[in-house]
Amino acid sequence: MIFWAYIRARVKSIACMAVILIIFGVVYFLADIQLDIYLYSLQLSAAFLLIAAGVDYYHFLKKHQSLAEFFELPHPELRQLPAAADILEQDYQDILERMMRINKELVTRSDQTYTDSREYYMMWAHQIKTPLSALKLLLQLEGNLSERGELEQEVFKIEQYVELALQYVRLDHMENDLEFKEYDLKKLVRQTVKKYSVIFINKKLSIDMDGVSGKVLTDEKWLSLILEQLLSNALKYTNQGGIRFYMEPGQEKTLVIQDTGIGIREEDVHRIFERGFTGYNGRMDKKSTGIGLYLCKKAADQLGHKIHIESKVGEGTRVMLDLRSDRLEIF
């Protein structure tokens, strides 16, 4: 309570006043002054002190309210603080001003470092696509190359890692890059599968998309990224059998991606969307970064979609992508 906080802040002054009044009482008593005179002077002093205390409490309350409002400001500036009442308060404000100035310099420096790094990685990701495209073209021209299929697969993996790095950098500003429209879901799935056709061919895996249907309100580029990362993960850990896309029975807006891969350990399932988490499968695959599924989850959250995974070791994995748009908030 503000009143008791005020009392605690002024307890020394109150104690001093009480001691002064007691001293006056002792002096009046020793001087053999009539009690009525002492009581009258005591009443006058008490009335004056109460008025002074009331004014002081009012200023104390106003200053507290001003500081509380200052604390709630999203971007506070020193000039918005109440004026310093004495040299001690001014000293505190000078210290605060210096700390705010240092903090602002650190934030500016950090923002500049982040901007420079982001621009560099985006430039690198775009520039490296040129030699990759040239390498891909050379592979297509080398029709007699016996290991052409394996080389094409490795080049494709490099392209995907570059694209993943580029999208990871863009993730912080994803909201500025969204364009929501209705899209044919089967068309998006077909485009994703076509992109990974070289992996399907080289691993001799089957693909089933017949169960996909309907339209979805989403951003095409970012949903495609999610589908690509989910399919990439399924392909990475599936060596026989195949991958199936279909709509969850009774949930026409939930897309399921089911593989016949090695599956995920139960203790790893709830952590696979954490950044950098690779789990047991990732530790077996030394090239795993733990970024792909983290990126999927972050992008899905921004799009208003939900991802849920079910898996058993040795039986494969089911990824359920809830594409309902009723949770979507467009500002």
229-240: pLDDT as tens digits:
999 989 988 999
What is the predicted pLDDT for the residue at 327? Answer: 55
Mean pLDDT of 76-100: 81
What is the predicted pLDDT for the residue at 316? Answer: 92
DSSP state for residue 248 in the 8-state scheme: P
Judged by average pLDDT, the poorest of 142-146, 194-198, 248-252 is: 142-146
Asked whether residue 285 carries a pLDDT value surpassing 80, the answer given is no
Longest dimension (CA), the chain: 126
Are 224 and 191 within 8 A, CB to CB? yes
Helix residue ranges per DSSP H, the chain = 2-9, 11-30, 35-72, 87-141, 148-170, 185-195, 197-203, 220-236, 266-269, 279-284, 292-303
Are 182 and 217 within 8 A, CB to CB? yes
Q: The pTM is what?
A: 0.60
11-37: pLDDT as tens digits:
888 888 888 888 888 887 787 777 788
Mean pLDDT of 183-208: 92
119-159: pLDDT as tens digits:
767 777 777 777 677 777 777 766 555 566 677 777 777 87
> What gap in Å lies between CA 256 and CA 322, rounded to an integer?
9
Mean pLDDT of 157-163: 78
Secondary structure in 3-state letters for 286-297: CCCCCCHHHHHH
The 3-state DSSP class for residue 41 equals helix
